[in-house]
Amino acid sequence: MRKLVEIYTDGACSGNPGKGGWAAVLIYKDTRRQISGAERETTNNRMELLAAIRALEALKVPCDAKLYSDSAYLCNGFNKGWIYNWIRNGWKTAAKKNVENVELWQRLYELTRTHNVEWIKVAGHSDNELNNLCDKLARQAITEMK
């Protein structure tokens, strides 16, 4: 039986593009782990995707994961089947344009072949304590970047 892990993620950007940060909180039973990082020149969408990637990469064994994000871009990519259409279309959009952030989407897709991920959209900047914590950690990662 797989472990069930709850994951909260968020990405932030100071300017878009600009300096960006990402963060995740992983919860398994009574254990809680926080991870975060930053990049110099990036976008908000890239940070949202990277937060999910880094969280799933942190799992040491194949898991069932409930991943909570305030990013419609991230959640819709899977829940609305965008990613499966892109794969079928050779990583092109319905408009025959290249998919943006393709290398991040490809990495996420690889990770979903290891982990069973349920993508759960939450309201951003509301009363979700762990989403707000991720937002704070992502912003903190930006300010702490050397």
> Is 64 among the catalytic positions?
no
Q: Catalytic one among 10, 20, 77, 115?
A: 10
Q: Catalytic one among 20, 37, 39, 70?
A: 70
Classified as helix, coil or strand, 65 is strand
Q: In whole angstroms, what is the distance from residue 62 CA to residue 99 CA?
A: 28
Q: Catalytic one among 37, 48, 77, 115?
A: 48
> Is 30 among the catalytic positions?
no
> Is 21 among the catalytic positions?
no
> Is 10 among the catalytic positions?
yes
Q: Catalytic one among 11, 20, 21, 37?
A: 11
54 neighbors 47 (Cβ within 8 angstroms): no
> Is 11 among the catalytic positions?
yes
Q: In whole angstroms, what is the distance from residue 9 CA to residue 68 CA?
A: 6
Q: In whole angstroms, what is the distance from residue 129 CA to residue 112 CA?
A: 26
Q: Catalytic one among 15, 41, 81, 125?
A: 125
> Is 125 among the catalytic positions?
yes
Q: In whole angstroms, what is the distance from residue 36 CA to residue 123 CA?
A: 20
Residue numbers annotated as active site = 10-11, 48, 70, 125, 135
